[in-house]
Amino acid sequence: MTTASPLRRGLLLACATALCGLAQPALAQAKIPLRISSPAVPDDWHAKMWTVFKDSLEKSAPNQFDVQINLNAALFKQGTEPAAMARGNLELASISAFDIAKLVPAFSIFTAGYVVRDPQHQQKVFNGPIGTELFKTVSDKMDLTVLSTVYLGTRQLNLREVRTVRTPADLKGVKLRMPGTKEWLFLGEALGATATPLAFGEVYLGLKTGTIDGQDNPLPTARAAKFYEVTKQLVLTQHLVDSLFITISNKSWNALTPAQKQNVMAAAQAASKFNNENRIKEEGQLVDFFRQQGLQVSTPDVEAFRKSVQDSYARSDYAKVWPAGLLERINATR
C-alpha cells in the first residue's frame, strides 16, 4: 500500500472540500419542492396540521422534500388552489367539496346540508368504497390525487346581533356571509338567509363594520379567527359536517418513487389525524368558551332546518346530477 505524500494529501483534501462545496447546492436543489397554500389562520388546526405533515415527512424521508407552508391565503386566493395545482404553480392544498363540485358535479352531494351525519360518518364514507370511486373521478377530471380526508368541523351560525332563530324563516333578510361560489351561496339561501359572498380573510372586518350580519363556520375556526370578538350570538344549526381533502397534483405525485409516495401519503394521514382529533376535542369545549366571551348560545329547531335544507336540495339542479343511489349509499354507511 502506498501512502500519499503530505503535499498530495493536502491537494486531495482541498479537492474533496471543493467537490463537497459543489455538491452541497446540487443536493439542496435536488430536494422536491412541495408548495402548500391555505386560507387558514395560523392558530387553526387545519393550518397547524401542515407542520405535522412537514415534520412527519422530514422524519420518514430526511432531506428529500422542501415543504413550504403558506397560510392566510398568502400564496393563492381561497378556492383558486386547484387551478394553481393544474398550472403547476402549487403542489399541495386542502381543498373543499365546494371546490371539487365545480369540476366533479356529483361531489356537490357533500356541499348539501345535513347529508354527512358526524365526523365518524364522514371518515367511513370517504375511507370506504364511495370515497374510492369519487376520488378516482377527482383524479381523472382534476388531475389531483386525494391523500386524506380532513374533518373541517360542523358548521354553525354566528351572528353580529342577537335574534330569535328557531327556523329558517327567522333568518329572512339576514346577510349571511358565505364563500363566493354558487354552491356555497345556495347553502346560505337554503338556510333561509340572504347569502352574501366574501372571502374568508375579509369576514372579521365585515362582521366588525356590519357589511354582513353573520357568518357560518365550525366553532374551532370561529375561535381561531376570533369571530367571537365581533359577534354576539351562536346558533347551533349543525347544518354542514364539513370536509377538506388533502390533495397533490398528479404531476407531482407521479414523479415520486413508490417509497416517497408512501411517505407523503403517511404524512398527509398523520396531518389529518392530528387535525381531526384536536378539532373534535375542541368542538366539545368551545360552547363554554364562547359563553365566557359573552356570546349568547342558542339551539334552534334543528329538525326544521334539516327538513327545509334537504327539501331545497332535493328540488335543486344539484340533486339532478347526483349519481342514482349515491345519497342512499351515503345514508346507509355506518
Instruction: Based on the shown chain and the rule CB under 6 A, indicate whether residue 40 belongs to the binding site for ligand KDO.
Output: yes
Whole-angstrom CA distances from 31 to 66, 67, 204 are 6, 9, 38
Instruction: Based on the shown chain and the rule CB under 6 A, indicate whether residue 188 belongs to the binding site for ligand KDO.
Output: no
Name the segment binding ligand KDO (CB under 6 A); options: 24-32, 36-44, 49-57, 185-193.
36-44
Instruction: Based on the shown chain and the rule CB under 6 A, indicate whether residue 266 belongs to the binding site for ligand KDO.
Output: no
Q: Which is nearer to ligand KDO, 246 or 330 (CB)?
A: 246
Q: How far is the CB of 44 from ligand KDO (least distance, A)?
A: 6
Q: Which is nearer to ligand KDO, 94 or 263 (CB)?
A: 94
Instruction: Based on the shown chain and the rule CB under 6 A, indicate whether residue 179 belongs to the binding site for ligand KDO.
Output: yes
CB 228 within 8 A of CB 292: no
Binder to ligand KDO among 37, 80, 96, 312 (CB under 6 A)?
96
Q: CA 221 to CA 225: how far, in whole Å? A: 6
Name the segment binding ligand KDO (CB under 6 A); options: 13-21, 37-45, 113-121, 299-307.
37-45
Half-sphere exposure at residue 15, Cβ-oriented, CA atoms within 13 angstroms: 6
Q: Which is nearer to ligand KDO, 78 or 312 (CB)?
A: 78
Helix (H, G, I), strand (E, B) or coil at 76: coil
Binder to ligand KDO among 37, 78, 80, 252 (CB under 6 A)?
78
DSSP 211: S
Helix (H, G, I), strand (E, B) or coil at 179: coil
CA end-to-end span of the chain, whole Å? 73
Instruction: Based on the shown chain and the rule CB under 6 A, indicate whether residue 272 belongs to the binding site for ligand KDO.
Output: no
Instruction: Based on the shown chain and the rule CB under 6 A, indicate whether residue 200 belongs to the binding site for ligand KDO.
Output: yes
Q: Please identify which residue in the block is written with the cell numbers 396531518.
A: 271
Instruction: Based on the shown chain and the rule CB under 6 A, indicate whether residue 247 belongs to the binding site for ligand KDO.
Output: no
Instruction: Based on the shown chain and the rule CB under 6 A, indicate whether residue 154 belongs to the binding site for ligand KDO.
Output: no
Q: CA 38 to CA 320: how far, in whole Å? A: 31
CB 170 within 8 A of CB 163: yes
Binder to ligand KDO among 37, 39, 113, 126 (CB under 6 A)?
39
Total Cβ atoms within 10 A of residue 294: 10
Instruction: Based on the shown chain and the rule CB under 6 A, indicate whether residue 81 belongs to the binding site for ligand KDO.
Output: no
Q: How far is the CB of 47 from ligand KDO (least distance, A)?
A: 8
Q: Which is nearer to ligand KDO, 168 or 179 (CB)?
A: 179
Instruction: Based on the shown chain and the rule CB under 6 A, indicate whether residue 82 belongs to the binding site for ligand KDO.
Output: no
Instruction: Based on the shown chain and the rule CB under 6 A, indicate whether residue 131 belongs to the binding site for ligand KDO.
Output: no
Give the residue among 185, 306, 331, 296 at the shortest CA–CA distance from 237.
Answer: 306
Give every CB contact of residue 219 below 8 A, 6+ residues apart in sequence: 153, 154, 156, 234, 282, 283, 286, 287, 290
Q: CA 53 to CA 270: how far, in whole Å? A: 7
Provide the binding-site residues for ligand KDO, judged by CB under 6 A. Answer: 38-40, 44, 46, 78, 96, 179, 200, 217, 221
